[in-house]
Structure 1
C-alpha cells in the first residue's frame, strides 16, 4: 500500500518546471470576472499619456467598435475596455457600440457622442415578468444611432415598493452609462401628488438632468394645459430656454405621437420627440420606441435636455401599469 503523503519535490525540480513568470497583473479583489485567460503572452504596457487629462479608462486608444462582453476559452485576445456596469452581461454575446469620439472642449464628459448625431433611438426593454405576474420591474432602455450602434444604456434605479405602490407616478432616478460602464448622466424625478387641482404648481411634474452626476444641467417642467402636453426646457437656474408641445389627440392610439420642440415664442420648430406606433404591440406591451430629432449643430447640453424630456414623457403618457393590462 503506497504512502498517501507524496514527498515534496526538490526545489530545483520545481524551478525547472516553471518556464516564465505570469506577466498578467492580478485581478482586482472586488471584481468577479468570467474571463478565462488563454496562453501566457507578452504583457501590453499601459498608455504613456492620458489625452486632455481625462480620467483613466475614458479615452480609448482604440475605438471599441464591438464591445466584448465575454471571452471564449483559449483565446489570446485582450480586453480593450475596462469592465463596466452594463446590466445585460449575461444576455448578449456582444454589443456593437458607437466608436468613442474625441474629447470636445467645454463639453461634459460623455456627451461627445451627441455632438455627432442629429437623431437617436430610445428602445425600451420588454419585460415579460410584468405581464405574467403584474409585478412592476425596473425600466431599461437601449439608446442607439441610425447604424444600430449603442450610444448609451439607461436603467431605472428605484425600489420595489415605490414602483409597485406609485406605478407611473413613482419618483425615479435614471442612470445613463456609456460603453465603458461610466455613469455620465443622471435624471431624477421627484414625487408630485396629483390629487389636488391640475393647475396647482405642486401637482406639475418635473425632471432634473445632471451631467456629470451631481451637477445640475437643467430641468424639464410641465405646464398646465387643458388639452395637450406642454413642457419647458430650463437651464440650471430654471430659466426657460425651449418649449415642448405635445399632440392634442389621445396619446399613442393608432399612430405616432409627435412632441414638437419649439422656440419659446412657438414660431420655429427646432426638433421633435416621436413615440413610434408599432401596431398592437404598442398597445399590449410595455416597451416603447422613441425617435428624437434635433439639429446636428445644436449645443450638446440642449440635446441632452431634449433627451431627458423623452423619459418624462414616457412615464407620464406611455408607461403602463401591469394592473391596467389585466383590466383592459
Structure 2
C-alpha cells in the first residue's frame, strides 16, 4: 500500500501527515512508549574473593602421599647359571638345548690382533656380551664352530719314527671358523703317568686367551673307561673362571656306542654326546653327535678330522671340529670344548705312539 501523493502549494510542499505519528504525540496514537529508564544500575561488581588460596598447611590441597615407592631391591645377584627355568632348559623347538640370546644387534668385533705370527680374534663389543657371562667366555658369544688343532711335538714325532715310546704334554690351538685363534690350551700332567698309563692319565688343562689369562680350567681325575667297570667311568670338570665350576662331562655306561652326559654346575643334564660304533680314524672323519637330553634332536657334533697319513702314523696330533647353535649358552659351549679334549684322550691319544682305535667301548 503506497502513501497518498503530495500536493503542491504556493511556496513549497504542503505539510502532510506521515504514515507514523511523531514520537511525542502520545502512547495512545500508536507510537512507541518512551523508555521507562535505562538499564538498571549494576547491583555491584563481581563479589570480592573470599580469600586467596588457602595456605599449604590449612589442608586445602592434601600433601602428597609419597613419591614413587622405593625400589624393592636391585637385580638379584647371579646364582651361577640362570634360575632353574633358564638353566639350559630346552625351548620347545630346540629339543633340550638352553639358548641365551646375546645382547645387542649384529655381530661387532674389534680388529684381529697379531701376536707371534698368529692372528687372534679381536675383542667383542661390550653390548654383545650376555649378562652374567664369565670373563673371557664372551669370545664364544657369536661363534657356532670351533677348530681344535693339536701342536705337533718334534721330539714326539722323532720318537715315533724310531718306535720309541715318548709322551709329552699336549698343546692345542683353538680357532674360530675364520682361522683366527681364540684360545690356547696346555696339558699339565705327571711325566711318569704319561709314560705308564698313557691316554688314561689324569690331567689338568689350562685354556688361556691372547693376554695369557686363564679363562677355562679342565680337571680330569684318574678313572677307567672300559665298559667292564661301569662304576668308575671317565669325567671331566670344567671351571670358568678357574675355581668356579660351570659344568661336567660324564661318561655313561654303554656297550656299543660311547655316550657322554653334558651337565651344568648343578648336575642337570643339558645335552648328550653319542659316538660311533667304530672309532677307527683311518682315511676319514669320526663324528660324535651332540643331541638333546632325550636324544630326539641333533644340535651339533664333535668331529675328529683326518690329518693325513704321515701325521696319523707317527704322531698323535689330532684336529677336531666342534659345531653348536650360535645362541647356545657360552658356558655350555665351554663344556663342549672340554668334552672334545676328553674324547681326544679316550679314543685318539696314543700310548707310546701306538694307535688306540677300536670297536665301540671295547677299545
Name the TM-score, length of structure 1 as normaliser. Answer: 0.69
Q: How does 1:48-197 map to 2 (within 5 A)?
A: 63=110, 65-68=112-115, 93-103=116-126, 104=129, 105-133=131-159, 134-193=165-224
Q: How does 1:284-295 map to 2 (within 5 A)?
A: 284-295=314-325
Once residues 194 and 119 of structure 1 are traced to their aligned partners in structure 2, the CA distance between those partners, rounded to angstroms, is: 28
Once residues 178 and 324 of structure 1 are traced to their aligned partners in structure 2, the CA distance between those partners, rounded to angstroms, is: 32
Task: Give the 3-state SS of the residue equivalent to 2:354 in structure 1.
Answer: helix
How many matched pairs? 238
Match of 1:262 in 2: 291
Once residues 169 and 272 of structure 1 are traced to their aligned partners in structure 2, the CA distance between those partners, rounded to angstroms, is: 23
Structure 2: gaps of 5 or more residues: 1-108, 160-164, 356-363
Q: How does 1:218-297 map to 2 (within 5 A)?
A: 218-280=247-309, 281-297=311-327
Q: CA deviation at 1:63?
A: 4.5
Once residues 66 and 194 of structure 1 are traced to their aligned partners in structure 2, the CA distance between those partners, rounded to angstroms, is: 40
Q: CA deviation at 1:174?
A: 0.7
Match of 1:215 in 2: 244
**Cα distance change on mapping 1:159 and 1:184 into 2, 3 Å:** same
**Cα distance change on mapping 1:64 and 1:172 into 2, 3 Å:** farther
Which stretch has the larger CA shift, 96-105 or 278-287?
A: 278-287
Name the TM-score, length of structure 2 as normaliser. Answer: 0.62
Residue 303 (str. 1) matches residue 303 (str. 2)? no
Q: CA deviation at 1:285?
A: 2.2
Task: Give the 3-state SS of the residue equivalent to 2:325 in structure 1.
Answer: coil
Q: CA deviation at 1:201?
A: 1.5
**Cα distance change on mapping 1:298 and 1:194 into 2, 3 Å:** closer
Task: Give the 3-state SS of the residue equivalent to 1:324 in structure 2.
Answer: coil
Return structure 1 stretches of 4+ with deviation > 6 angstroms: none
CA RMSD in angstroms, aligned pairs only: 1.8
Structure 1: gaps of 5 or more residues: 1-61, 69-92
| Larger-gyration structure (1/2) | 2
